[in-house]
Amino acid sequence: MPRSLLTPLVAFCVALTWSGSWITGKLAVSSAPPLEVSTVRFVVAAIALVGIAIVARTDLGRGSLWPVVIAGIFGYFGYNAFVFVGLAMAPASDGALIVPTLIPVLTAIAASFVGERLTATKLAGLAVASVGAAIVIAAGQSGDAISSRRLIGDVLMLLGAGCWAVYTVLGTIALRSRSPLAVVTIAAPVGAALLFPLGFFEKGYSDVAGWSTGVWLNILYLALAGTVASFILFYWVVRRVGPGVAAMTSYLVPVLTLAMAVVLLGDRPQVLQLVGGFVILAGVRLATLRLARDREPVPEGAA
C-alpha cells in the first residue's frame, strides 16, 4: 500500500467504527441505563487496554500525568456522560448530525490554546456551524412533551461534542511524551472511575446481570472497537497530522451513521435537519479552510 494512503485509510476506518458506535450505542441504551452502559464499556475497555499494554510491553511514558488525566476527564467521562444520556433521549440521527459535524470546528477553536492560530475564518466557521446545529435541533421539535425530551438530548450531545474537542487538543500535549496506546491506556481507567458513581443514580448496577445478550454484544463493540481500536488509531492520526486535520475524520461519520440509522434503526431525519447538517459542514469547511496548508503533516513513520 502506498505510504501516502495509509493515514487517510486509517482515518476512514476510525470514522466507520465511530459510525457503528452510534448505532450500537442507541441499541444498548434502548435496553439498559445509559450511564451504566458507559461505565461498563470503559471498564471492559480499560481491562483490554491494560492487557494489550502488558503484552506489548508498552512504555507508559514519563513526565506529568495531568494532560492525560484531564484528557480522560473530557474525552471519556464528559463526552460519554453527555452523549449517552442524550442518545437515550434523542434519535441516533440527531447525534450523527450534531456531534461529528461540530467536532472539527470546535477543535479548530480549542487548538488555538496550544499554538494553532485563532483566525477570523475559524470564528466565522464556528458561527456558521452553530447556526447549522440550531437548525438541526429546532427541526426535530414539534412542541409536545416528547420533543422537549429530544431537545434536552440534542443539547447534551452538543456539550459532548465540546468535550471531545478539548480531548482531541489535550491529546496533542499528552502525545509529546507518550505513545497513543499509552495515552488511551491511562485515560480509560480515569473515565471508568469517574463514570462509575453516576450509575448509582440509575439502577445501581443491580440490573447488569440481567442484561440481554444483545446489550452485551453492543457494549463489547463499544468497548473493543469503539474505544480500544478507534481511540488508539485516532490518536495515531492526531500524532501524524495534528488535531485540526485529524478532527476532520468526523466529516464521514454523519453520512455513514445516517445510512446505518435509516436501515438498522428506522430513523427518518427531517429534511430541514439534513439542511442543518450541510450548514454545519459548510461552517467546518470555512473554519478549516487553510488548516491543511498552514500545518506541516507529521512525516510518515513518525508514530
**pLDDT tens for the 303 residues of the chain, in order:** 555 678 778 888 888 898 899 899 999 999 999 999 999 999 999 999 999 999 988 888 777 888 899 989 998 899 999 999 999 898 887 887 788 777 776 776 776 666 666 677 767 877 787 787 778 777 766 545 456 888 899 899 989 988 988 888 888 788 788 888 888 899 999 999 999 999 999 999 999 999 999 999 999 999 999 989 988 888 788 777 776 667 667 767 777 887 888 888 887 777 887 887 788 778 766 765 654 444 443 333 333
3, 11, 108, 221, 281 from 292: Cα distances, Å: 18, 15, 12, 32, 16
State pLDDT tens for residues 13-68: 888 898 899 899 999 999 999 999 999 999 999 999 999 999 988 888 777 888 89
d(CA 209, CA 226) in angstroms, rounded, equals 23
Closest by Cα among 139, 130, 42 to 90: 139
Question: Would you state the cell numbers that stand for residue 269, as one nine-digit string?
Answer: 431525519
pLDDT number for residue 9: 84
Judged on CB neighbours under 10 Å (0-12, 13-18, 19+), 262 is middle
Q: Cα(209)–Cα(96) distance, rounded to whole angstroms? A: 30
Say what the pLDDT of residue 297 is: 39
Q: Are 185 and 101 in contact (CB under 8 A)?
A: no
Q: What is the distance between the alpha carbons of residues 181 and 97, in angstroms, rounded to a whole number?
A: 29
Q: What is the CA radius of gyration of the chain?
A: 18
Distance CA(232)–CA(179), nearest Å, equals 9
Q: Which residues have a Cβ under 8 Å from the Cβ of 213 and sit 6 or more positions away? A: none
* CA 27/CA 29 separation, integer angstroms: 6
Residue type at position 49:
L
The answer for 295, left when phi > 0, alpha when psi is -120 to 50, beta otherwise, is beta
Instruction: Read off the amino acid at residue 298.
Output: V
Tally of CB atoms within 10 A around 293: 7
Nearest to residue 217, comparing CAs of 14, 44, 35, 33? 44
pLDDT of residue 235: 79
pLDDT computed for residue 96 by the predictor: 77
Question: What does the pLDDT read at residue 157?
Answer: 92
If you ran DSSP here, which 8-state letter would residue 210 be given?
G
The pTM of this model reads 0.76
pLDDT at position 290, please?
A: 54
Residue with cell 459532548: 160
Q: What pLDDT does residue 293 have?
A: 47
Closest of 76, 78, 125, 118 to residue 102, by C-alpha: 125
Q: Which three cell numbers stand for residue 292?
A: 491543511
Nearest alpha carbon to residue 68 among 190, 150, 164: 190
Burial class for 224, CB neighbours closer than 10 Å (0-12, 13-18, 19+): middle
